[in-house]
Structure 1
Amino acid sequence: MKDNVHPLPSDVAAVLEAPDRLAALNAAMPVFLGPDPDFDDIAALAAGFVDAPISLVTVLGRTDQWFLARQGTPEIRAPSEDSFCARMLAERVPLVIADARKDKRFSDLPSVTGAPRLRFYAGVPIVLDGQAIGTVCIYDVKSRRTVPKELVHRLEQLASLAASLIKLKEETRRRTVAAEALSRDEKRHALALDAANVASWLWDISTGTVSGNETFYRMLGVRPGKPMSARKFFMLVHPADRKLTIDRLRNALATGKEYDGLFRAAHSDRWLLGRGRVHEWDVDGKPATFLGINVDVTDGQLASERTRLLLRELNHRVKNTLAMLQSLARQTLRQTSDPVEFMDAFAGRLQSLSEAHGLLSDHEWGVIHLKMLLQKQIMPYAIDYDSQIEIHKDEVELGPDEAVGLGLVLHELATNARKYGSLSVRTGKVVITARIVNEDGHRVLNMTWHEVGGPPVKADGRRGFGSVLIERSLDKILGSSVHVEYLPKGVTAVVRMPL
């Protein structure tokens, strides 16, 4: 076909530019991707009817005619201005042109006056949704006086076949695009679930099988594999939680409401939060599939359990502390009737208990190190802690009862040392030795408190409630003892406490 073009008559241009026709073309073929081998047989059959050297299966755009299949020409497009088919569409009926030179509609077209000097043409429209979007046509460079009567009918059959094929290919393309989009969505959802550590599962009630993603199998502590039976799935729930879980699932099936439950996996012992609901019903209105998710909440469940244990421990400690406070108050009152003196002595002992409780609370009522307890109880009463307190010790960990009892002992020793002993002068010093010994397979703390460099000690008048309290502070710990001696050069205390 030549590059020279012939202006389109206004009626032909109106047909090509008709919005409804272009919309139908765009719906059937949004993008022309070039010749399609699936249409080659249609072009070959069209040519074979009358031994035509040139045959085409085309779609007509606003300015170009594109060839889906062609025989006898290497071209894949031609301008609409130089198109027999565009003029045929304007006629709105199939056309058979015996000699284009003698037809004023075609005689001055470049493809007639110049190469390839077309003479014969027969074409029918390809119609989709009531709109002519293309053609099936044949050409010859020789004119023809006669053509078979059935030629137009045969070409119309091929055009109908081409229309069906165009529609089928577009539907297939759309389904492929939709499937690819769905696949991308599914992959994205799967990645999101995996990143969030969420297990998804589907119970096919009609077949009695349960399947899920890899996270689902991992949470249950089994290898990923083929769908499992619902019975096996229920057996993977911890026996202690199985009945309640099954009952809740049955209720969700019966009512259509959401399932919500917490259970442990029998194999992995993980705590799983389950949510789900009926996804599909069968024709009889019975549940057909059930879709669910599981979230691993083990950390939260363990934290909750630990909180409950800590609260129980705290309640126990509060009761013990209140009993100890009552005893301290009574004993302190017995030693003095002066309210100011009472408050001073009692407040110090309350502070000692508070310091020990604070340390234990910071460590969730587990164990604390002896070094921390020594520093908390003694530092407030030393003029210069680093130079006045000398400690030689093993690595010692104390439980709650041990820490509270030993904390009171250290408080009484430190307050006495501050008032009367080595901590009352800058040259005084306290030497503490703490060693762990093994006695019949049991660990025992042996600790000594020895004051040096302080004022001379007078035993008379020094033994009061403080001394009694020192010796009784560890009464709750079986096998423990505290022995205090008021030697002239300084107070010495020996503590023995099983750990």
Structure 2
Amino acid sequence: MREKTEAMLPAVAQVLDAPERLGVLQAAVPDMSVPDEDFDGLARLAASLFDAPIALVSLVDREWQWFKACIGTTETRSHVRESFCVHTIAAGDGGPFLVLDASRHPAFRHRRAVGSPPFVRFYAGAPIVLDGQAIGTVAVLDVEPRSEVSAKRQSELQRIAGVAASLFKLKDEARRRALKEAALSREEQRLAMALDAANVGSWLWDIRAGTVSGNGAMMRMFGLPPERTVGAKAIFSAIHPEDRIPTFSKLRQAMAANEEYDGMFRIGTNGRWLLGRGRVHDRDSKGAPLSFLGMTIDVSDQQASVNRTRLLLKELNHRVKNTLAMLQSLARQTLRQTSDPAEFMTAFAGRLQAISEAHGLLSDYEWGTIHLSELISKQLLPYVSDYSQQVELHKDEILLGPDQAVGLGLVLHELATNAVKYGALSVPTGKIVLTARRVVEDGESVLHLTWTEVGGPPIREPRRRGFGSILIERSLDKIIGSSVKVEYLPAGVTALIRLPL
């Protein structure tokens, strides 16, 4: 191939500015301005092939030619107006471009590098082609003109340019792979941090190696050192002895049926409940499982809540049965005292309300314990117009259980009902004084509660004991050691209640 005349040179700007070419260049080599010593060997090989003092491996954008590697010059770039290589790219035929004597060539003799140092005379360049686009060149320059260049040398130069293109391609693929790996690594780190922050254990069981790799949360749950990989035996040994065999059986069943494992178990050292889920990650050519991937979360709080709910339901069932029995007894006893339906409904409804108020308080506290002061106010509020003026309470801080609260609630209801009919609450100036003290008797806590009516009309002891009086004395019979003693003093009724706590 001989050099092209000026008339044969293509329109350079149109080719350099082509969006397709620039897109390939910028995508493949975003750091085109940075020299890369990996291309130095190709530049030396080209210089040796032509016995030339200057060789370049360069990339060309729309304004600059960037030297990725160079021999015989300290420059790192050249403007496209002074570049020989832009014509190699613009030629578009994929072959070498030659200038045998630049001083005599009308298109190049006025170039700065021709008329001043280094006084370039000879140029040979081959395009670097990626994805069908010429993005750069491998070129040699000499200060001596040449009369011709053999086809073999031109072919070798073109081959070096092909190697440069392959190297750029490999570097681009490596860069993209590194970016993906870095993004994946960041994502894995974020996931690991999220799992650890949420206290979710992740693990991979290498079945053949007999090891389990897990994150920090996983190791903490099993009470193991923070090493990322431990023996599978250590994991299974950490499970509570009663749950170990069922857990292992579930895992084997999931592996055999290619199903998801889902099971709960306790940790032997602290009794905490864990929920594990996972499935076979990969199998060998015969279908035998190689690894098992899963996650574990601590569900101790949820399990405790479930257990509390079960206990509450059991307690509620017991209370409902007792309450129904009590209501039947109250109905029968109330009916015996009167044949008037209206009077029966009034008396029975009041007692039913007393039980309901006690049950409501107990339900608010999940059938645990309630404060005595709350029970007193619930039972007495319906019978007074001004609680603070008509009820005077002196008390220690007392907590009552379910049986104590229901029984004492009935006692307070009957005392209040009698006070409204015949005692202190039947007149505006009357009041109830309650004194509640916790005392220790034979090492056991006992409530001493005194009910005293003051400011009411004179009181006489009734000739006949009605059901209300019997109910006052017997409502606490279920609690061993309890007692209620009522005294009908002229100044007002006094009730002495003893209730073991």
Deviations 1:384-406 (A, max 9, x none): 32122222222111111111111
Deviations 1:396-423 (A, max 9, x none): 1111111111111111111101110011
In structure 1, the partner of 2:469 is: 467
1:26 CA displacement: 4.5
- Residue from 381, 384, 387 that aligns with 1:382: 384
Deviations 1:40-92 (A, max 9, x none): 33323433455533221112335542211123333323344543233335264
Could you say what secondary structure the match of 2:349 adopts?
helix
Structure 2, unmatched stretches of 5+, are: 1-5
| 1:286 matched to 2:288 | yes
| 1:35 matched to 2:50 | no
Deviates more, 1:429-438 or 1:48-57: 48-57
Q: Distance in 2 between matches of 1:74 and 1:7?
A: 33
In structure 2, the partner of 1:73 is: 73
Q: Distance in 2 between matches of 1:300 and 1:7?
A: 86
Deviates more, 1:460-469 or 1:394-403: 460-469
1:94 CA displacement: 2.7
In structure 2, the partner of 1:448 is: 450
Could you say what secondary structure the match of 1:39 adopts?
helix
In structure 1, the partner of 2:3 is: none
Q: Distance in 2 between matches of 1:103 and 1:135?
A: 21
Deviates more, 1:316-325 or 1:186-195: 186-195
Matched to 2:39, the amino acid is F
Matched to 2:59, the amino acid is V
Matched to 1:68, the amino acid is K
Are the counterparts in 1 of residues 94 and 126 from structure 2 also a CA contact under 8 Å? no
Matched to 2:73, the amino acid is T
Could you say what secondary structure the match of 1:100 adopts?
coil
Deviates more, 1:17-26 or 1:73-82: 17-26
Q: Distance in 1 between matches of 2:444 and 2:152?
A: 113
Count of paired positions: 494
Structure 1, unmatched stretches of 5+, are: 1-5
Matched to 1:73, the amino acid is T
TM-score by length of 1: 0.91
Are the counterparts in 1 of residues 215 and 228 from structure 2 also a CA contact under 8 Å? no
In structure 2, the partner of 1:3 is: none
Deviations 1:252-282 (A, max 9, x none): 2112221112222223322222221122222
Q: Distance in 1 between matches of 2:47 and 2:80?
A: 22
Are the counterparts in 1 of residues 43 and 138 from structure 2 also a CA contact under 8 Å? yes
Are the counterparts in 1 of residues 390 and 431 from structure 2 also a CA contact under 8 Å? yes
| 1:419 matched to 2:421 | yes
Give the alignment of 1:316-331 within 5 angstroms. 316-331=318-333
In structure 2, the partner of 1:212 is: 214
In structure 2, the partner of 1:270 is: 272
Give the alignment of 1:357-368 within 5 angstroms. 357-368=359-370
Q: CA RMSD in A?
A: 2.6
TM-score by length of 2: 0.90
Q: Distance in 1 between matches of 2:139 and 2:464?
A: 127
Q: Distance in 2 between matches of 1:198 and 1:7?
A: 74
In structure 2, the partner of 1:121 is: 123
Deviates more, 1:449-458 or 1:80-89: 80-89
Q: 1:92 to 1:372 in 2, by over 3 A?
A: closer
In structure 2, the partner of 1:60 is: 60
- Residue from 464, 480, 494 that aligns with 2:482: 480
Matched to 1:321, the amino acid is T
Identity of aligned residues (%): 60
Are the counterparts in 2 of residues 236 and 265 from structure 1 also a CA contact under 8 Å? yes
Deviations 1:410-458 (A, max 9, x none): 1111110111001111221222222222111111112211212211112
1:113 CA displacement: 4.5
In structure 1, the partner of 2:170 is: 168
- Residue from 347, 350, 355 that aligns with 2:349: 347
Could you say what secondary structure the match of 1:189 adopts?
helix
1:320 CA displacement: 0.7
Deviates more, 1:140-149 or 1:291-300: 140-149
